[in-house]
C-alpha cells in the first residue's frame, strides 16, 4: 500500500521492551509496539533504535516478526533521567548512522522519531540518509509548562529549543489530536501542511468486557472500586484521586467499608524523587486502608483491573491523548477525567464518562459519589464506553500512518527532483 520496505523508528529514552507504567515507560511505549507490529503485518519492516540500559541486553532483539529492537550504546549502561540524555545524543546518533552505513544505500525508506530527543537523532539521520523524517512529539514542553502541577518542575529551555528544531526540520509532524495539531501550529509555528492528525488506538482484541475480573484479582464483588493507571508523578495527578477518596469518606463514612482505590503504576519523572509521597498522603488523609498500590502489570492483567473497576479516574494536568481512558472504556468501564488535551476526544463527556474542569478533589468526589450512587447510569455509561472505544483501533492508526509516510516520501521525491 505504501511502497515502503523498511522504517527506522527512534525511541532514545525508553525501550518498547520495557513495562509501561513506571520510569519513563508509558503510552508511547505501547504506541510504538502496537504500530510496529501492524506495520510489519502490512509488509513494512521496522527497526526500533533505543538506548541500551544494561550489559545483558543483546544488540538486537526480535519484538515480533518483522520488528527488531536495536540497543544502541550511548552513555552508561543504566537507566538515566531524561535530563541527562541530551549529553549522550551524539554517541547515540553516531551509532545510528553506523548501522545504516553497514548496508547498501537506501536501506531505510523513512525515519519515524518519537519524543524530541529522538527527533534530534532523526534530524541528523535524515540529512545523512536523504530520507523523510516523520516525528511524533507525544508531549509538548510549552503545553506542559502551561499546566504545571503544584511543586512540579517546568520543562527546561533546552527541551523547548530542541522541540523547535525538530518542528523546523521534520518532513511531517504527527499529532494525536486536532488540538495537538493546533498547538504545534500556534506555539511552534509548524507549517499546517506538514502536520497530520493520527489518533492512537487500543488493542480492541485484548481490552474487551469480560466477567470474573474481581474474582481473578481477589477483590470483593460488592466493593466500590476506583482505578488509577499510569506513572506516579505530579503531571498525572494521582493525588487528586486519593484526596477525592478522603472527601468521599468524609461525606459518607459508611463508604469506607466497601471503597477500594487501586493505584496501578510506579514512580516516574519528578515522582522518582519522592517515591513514597502518595502512600504518605494516603496515611495523612486517613485513607491508607482503602488505597491499594499495585505495580505495573502485563496488559492481560491490566485489562482485568479495568474490568474490575466501577470507574477509572484520569486526572492528568496534561495529556496528549489519554490511552488509559480508551483502554478502560474498551473494557466497559466509564472514565472520569480532567478536561484537558486529548482526554476531550478520548472520553465522550456525559456518555462514556465525565470530564471535569480543573483538579479540585471536591469536584471529583462529587462526580464519583454521584456515579457510584446511580448504578443504572453507570451501566448505561459502560455500554456507551464500549461503543465509543471501538472508534480507536491500532489498525486504523497504522493505516493512517502509512498514508502519512507515503505523503512524506512523495513530497521528498518531488523536492529532490525539482
Residue 266 assigned ligand-binding role = no
- pLDDT for residue 152: 84
pLDDT of the residue at 270? 59
φ/ψ of residue 213, rounded to 5: -65, -40
Instruction: Tell me whether residue 19 is annotated as binding.
Output: yes
Residue 222: its pLDDT value, please?
Answer: 97
Q: How confident is the model at residue 79, as a pLDDT?
A: 87
Go through 24-46 and write b for each residue having 16 or more CB atoms within 10 A of its CB, e for each that does not.
bbbbbbbbbbbbbbbbbeeebbb
To the question of whether residue 115 is assigned a binding role by annotation, the answer is yes
Residue 43 known to bind ligand: no
CA distances, 101 to each of 75, 98, 106, 128, 134 (Å) = 21, 5, 10, 10, 21
Mean pLDDT of the chain: 94
pLDDT in tens, 315-353: 999 998 999 999 999 999 999 999 999 999 999 999 999
The predicted pLDDT at position 415 comes to: 85
Q: 319 among the known binding-site residues? A: yes
In this prediction, residue 273 carries a pLDDT of 57
Q: Would the annotation count 20 as a binding residue?
A: yes
Distance CA 299, CA 209 (A): 14
Q: 144: annotated binding-site residue?
A: no
100-112: pLDDT as tens digits: 899 988 999 999 9
- Provide the pLDDT for residue 105: 86
Q: How many CB atoms lie within 10 A of CB 191?
A: 13
Give helix 299-308 / helix 323-330 axis angle, nearest 10°.
70
Q: What is the mean pLDDT of residues 25-37?
A: 93
**Is 82 annotated as belonging to a binding site?**
yes
Per-residue confidence (pLDDT) for residue 26, from 0 to 100: 86
CA distance 262 to 213: 14
Which residue has cell 547515540? 92
Residue 1 has pLDDT above 50, yes or no: no
Residue 333 is labelled as binding a ligand: yes
pLDDT in tens, 266-323: 886 655 557 799 999 999 999 999 999 999 999 999 999 999 999 999 999 999 899 9
Mean pLDDT for 148-165 is: 92
Instruction: Examine the pLDDT at 248 and tell me if it is beyond 60.
Output: yes
* Nearest Cα to Cα of residue 49 among 87, 14, 90: 14
pLDDT digits (tens, 9 = 90+) for 64-78: 999 999 999 999 999
In the beta sheet, which residues pair with residue 175? Answer: 197
Is residue 139 part of an annotated ligand binding site? yes
47 assigned to a ligand binding site: no
User: Is 27 flagged in the annotation as binding?
Assistant: yes
CA distances from 179 to 92, 123, 147 (A): 32, 25, 15
- Compute the average pLDDT of residues 210-230: 98
Is 29 within any annotated ligand binding site?
A: yes
pLDDT band at 2 (very low <50, low <70, confident <90, very high): low
Q: Is 306 annotated as a binding residue?
A: yes
List, in order, residues 6 or more apart from 401 with CB less than 8 Å away. Answer: 35, 39, 112, 134, 174, 198
Alpha-carbon gap, residue 405 to 209, rounded angstroms:
34
pLDDT per residue as tens digits for the range 45-60: 999 999 999 999 999 9
**pLDDT tens digit string along 12-26?**
999 999 988 777 878
With b meaning 16 or more CB within 10 Å and e meaning fewer, what string describes 233-270? Answer: bbbbbbbbbbbbbbbbbeeeeebeeebbbbbbbbbbbe
N-terminal to C-terminal alpha carbon distance within the chain: 25
Amino acid at each position: 500500500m505504501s511502497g515502503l520496505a523498511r522504517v527506522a523508528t527512534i525511541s532514545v529514552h525508553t525501550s518498547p521492551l520495557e513495562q509501561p507504567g513506571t520510569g519513563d515507560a508509558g503510552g508511547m511505549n505501547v504506541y510504538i509496539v502496537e504500530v510496529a507490529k501492524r506495520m510489519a503485518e502490512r509488509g513494512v519492516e521496522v527497526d526500533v533504535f533505543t538506548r541500551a540500559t544494561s550489559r545483558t541486553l543483546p544488540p538486537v532483539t526480535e519484538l515480533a516478526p518483522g520488528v527488531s529492537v536495536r540497543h544502541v550504546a550511548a552513555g552508561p549502561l543504566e537507566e538515566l533521567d531524561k535530563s541527562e540524555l541530551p549529553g549522550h545524543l551524539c554517541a547515540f546518533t553516531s551509532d545510528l548512522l553506523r548501522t545504516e552505513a553497514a548496508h547498501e544505500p537506501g536501506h531505510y525508506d523513512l525515519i519515524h522519531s518519537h519524543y524530541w530527543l529522538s527527533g534530534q537523532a532523526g534530524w541528523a539521520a535524515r540529512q545523512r540518509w536523504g530520507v523523510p523524517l516523520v516525528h511524533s512529539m507525544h508531549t509538548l514542553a510549552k503545553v506542559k509548562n502551561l499546566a504545571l502541577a503544584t511543586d512540579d518542575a517546568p520543562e527546561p529551555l533546552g527541551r523547548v529549543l530542541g522541540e523547535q528544531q525538530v518542528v523546523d526540520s521534520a518532513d511531517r509532524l504527527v499529532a494525536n489530536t486536532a488540538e495537538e495539531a493546533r498547538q504545534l501550529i500556534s506555539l511552534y509555528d509548524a507549517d499546517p501542511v506538514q502536520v497530520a492528525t493520527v489518533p492512537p488506538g487500543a488493542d480492541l482484541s485484548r481490552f474487551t468486557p469480560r466477567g470474573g475480573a474481581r474474582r481473578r484479582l481477589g477483590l470483593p464483588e460488592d466493593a466500590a472500586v476506583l482505578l488509577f493507571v499510569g506513572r506516579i508523578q505530579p503531571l498525572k495527578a494521582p493525588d487528586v484521586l486519593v484526596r477525592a477518596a478522603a472527601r468521599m469518606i468524609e461525606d459518607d463514612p459508611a463508604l469506607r467499608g466497601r471503597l477500594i482505590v487501586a493505584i496501578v503504576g510506579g514512580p516516574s519523572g519528578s515522582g522518582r524523587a519522592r517515591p513514597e509521597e502518595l502512600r504518605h498522603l494516603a496515611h495523612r488523609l486517613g485513607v491508607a486502608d482503602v488505597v491499594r498500590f499495585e505495580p505495573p502489570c502485563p496488559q492481560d492483567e491490566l485489562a482485568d483491573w479495568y474490568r474490575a473497576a466501577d470507574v477509572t479516574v484520569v486526572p492528568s494536568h496534561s495529556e496528549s491523548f489519554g490511552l488509559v481512558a480508551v483502554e478502560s472504556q474498551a473494557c466497559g468501564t466509564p472514565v472520569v477525567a480532567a478536561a484537558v488535551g486529548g482526554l476531550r476526544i478520548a472520553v465522550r463527556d456525559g456518555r462514556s464518562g465525565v470530564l471535569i474542569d480543573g483538579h479540585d478533589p471536591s469536584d471529583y468526589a462529587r462526580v464519583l459519589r454521584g456515579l457510584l450512587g446511580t448504578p443504572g447510569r453507570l451501566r448505561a455509561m459502560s455500554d456507551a464506553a464500549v461503543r465509543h472505544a471501538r472508534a480507536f483501533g491500532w489498525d486504523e492508526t497504522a493505516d493512517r500512518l502509512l498514508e502519512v509516510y507515503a505523503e512524506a516520501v512523495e513530497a521528498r521525491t518531488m523536492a529532490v527532483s525539482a
